[in-house]
Amino acid sequence: MSDRLIVVSSDCHAGLHISDYKPYVESRYQDLLDVAVPAQVEMMQKAEESFLIKEINDAWRAPIQQQLTGAWDYQERLRMLAGDGIAAEIIFPDGITEMNTPPFGAGLGLSPRDAVPELQWAGAMAHNRWLAEFCANDPARHVGVASIPLLFDVQQAVEAVRWCVDNGLTSVMIPTLWEDYAPYHDRKYDPFWEVCEDLGVVIHLHSGPAPNTEYFGKNFPAEDRSDELPGAMGVFTSEVTWWLYRPLTFMIWGGVFERYPKLKVVITEGGTLYMLPPWLRLMDHNYSEVHYSAKLGDFRSHLSLSPSEYFARNVAIGASCVPRRDLDLRTQLGDTKLMWGSDYPHPEGTWPQTPDYFKETFSGFPEDDGRKILGENAVEWYGLDRARLQEVANEIGPDTSIFA
């Protein structure tokens, strides 16, 4: 076994500046893009002011302006990966940090609120076309997560998945919030789950979306009501992870994993152990304690496994910037569930101090478990080319001294 560790980041982000997606947008939507971009940039800037303290964020950006261009510049990205010791990465769309989000609301939030379905699909496919080109530079190292606005048209989503696979993208991201659209226990989505299972496509849910208008006011982000709504950010940070897990609650109880036992789902950047185990215990309690639930009727005979068993079989965790206190409790979920992520290029991530993070966080950590969390679990879950990644790791990867 090599002293150099295969590191796979389960959470990285990439995308063009919103205006630069124009060549990837279908021609019939390009005039609309020209009109929409200024308005979307203005709203992103207002949202950034709400979510990031400008002075702190500007100070963080100042010395790393060039490195941040790795969010879309491939050669700069290779330098970033080498500096972090990352052999492979899972690449999500981006959001407000560098204004490099897909147009028409097709970015990381992928919210149906105020969206025009036709345009959001146009923005999503523009990003997917660019992402396929970007990852084709080295498919063994870059796993692109395509944007799929599933809620609007299931058959269109099925066709988009087939396009993605034909173009080298075998991971997708679906909306976390569905607003007034059908939730994920609705059988209308079965053709989508089926095509993902058949083609080996991994479905992702990424944190961030939440009912922000409840927290920050109905005109957010255009209107700042922070003085009238104290603590709004505290409410957001306390609830945002719950919204990430909620789709899985519907999928598990709805029998999605019963009908599609080989379906793979990843929840990314949503905490690990402070909320997941209690959530699973709650669902298992409702599944197994018949005395408490008998009067509510039969809501479980269509399931052959408990909720936690479906989770163990079908779900993995993209544990972005995971702290040591969570790693020390890893047995609560199993050491094969956690996949470390750097969250590049977001300021809450480990980059550009990832080597220091490795030394501080994994000091005294069991090497076998550390290898799994840092890369081996992701290699297994995504079916990556281990031999190829070991070659990369032998050049840039951290060594086992981080566990000393």
Q: Is residue 2 part of a domain?
A: no
**Helices and strands (DSSP H and E) totals, the chain:** 18, 8
Burial class (CB in 10 A: 0-12, 13-18, 19+), 34: exposed
Taking alpha carbons only, the member of 328, 323, 359 closest to residue 341 is 323
pLDDT digits (tens, 9 = 90+) for 252-263: 999 999 999 999
pLDDT band at residue 51 using 50, 70 and 90 as cut-offs: low
pLDDT at 96: 65
**pLDDT grade for 59, boundaries at 50, 70 and 90:** confident
Between 335 and 163, the more confident residue is 163
Residue 179 domain flag = yes
Nearest in space to 33 (alpha carbons), one of 88, 109, 103, 98: 103
Question: What is the sign of the dihedral through the CA atoms of 59, 60, 66 and 68?
Answer: negative
C-beta atoms surrounding 223 within 10 Å: 10
- Residue 38: the pLDDT is 83
Q: At 39, which CATH number? A: 3.20.20.140
Contacts of 373 (CB under 8 A, 6+ apart): 319, 322, 327, 330, 335, 338, 339, 340
At 110-141, the pLDDT tens digits run: 999 989 999 999 999 999 999 999 999 999 99
Cα 254 to Cα 247, 289, 301, 303, distances in angstroms: 10, 19, 11, 9
- Number of domains within the chain: 1
The answer to the question of residue 188 being in a domain is yes
For residue 46, tell me if it sits in a domain.
yes
For residue 97, pLDDT over 70 is answered with: no
* 287 in a structural domain: yes
Query: What is the Cα–Cα distance from 189 to 154, expressed in whole angstroms?
Result: 6
Q: What is the pTM of this model?
A: 0.96
Ordered DSSP codes for 187-206: GGGHHHHHHHHHHTPEEEEE
C-alpha distances out from residue 322 to 22, 269, 272, Å: 36, 9, 8
**pLDDT confidence bin for 50, thresholds 50/70/90:** low
* pLDDT (tens digit per residue) in 334-393: 889 899 999 999 988 999 999 999 999 999 999 999 999 999 999 999 999 999 999 999
pLDDT at residue 173 above 90?
yes
Instruction: Give the pLDDT band of residue 146 (cuts 50, 70, 90).
Output: very high
Q: What is the mean pLDDT of residues 304-328?
A: 93
Q: Confirm if 342 and 84 have CB atoms less than 8 A apart.
A: yes
Report yes or no on 281 lying in a domain: yes
Q: The domain containing residue 228 runs over which residues?
A: 8-403
CA distance 142 to 155: 27
Q: Is residue 3 part of a domain?
A: no
Q: Where are the alpha helices (DSSP H) in 264-403?
A: 276-288, 290-293, 307-314, 324-327, 354-362, 367-371, 377-382, 386-396
Count the residues in the chain: 404
Residue 1 belongs to a domain: no
Contact 130, 16 (CB under 8 A): yes
The letter for the amino acid at 299 is: F
- The rounded distance, in Å, linking the Cα atoms of 369 and 366 is 6
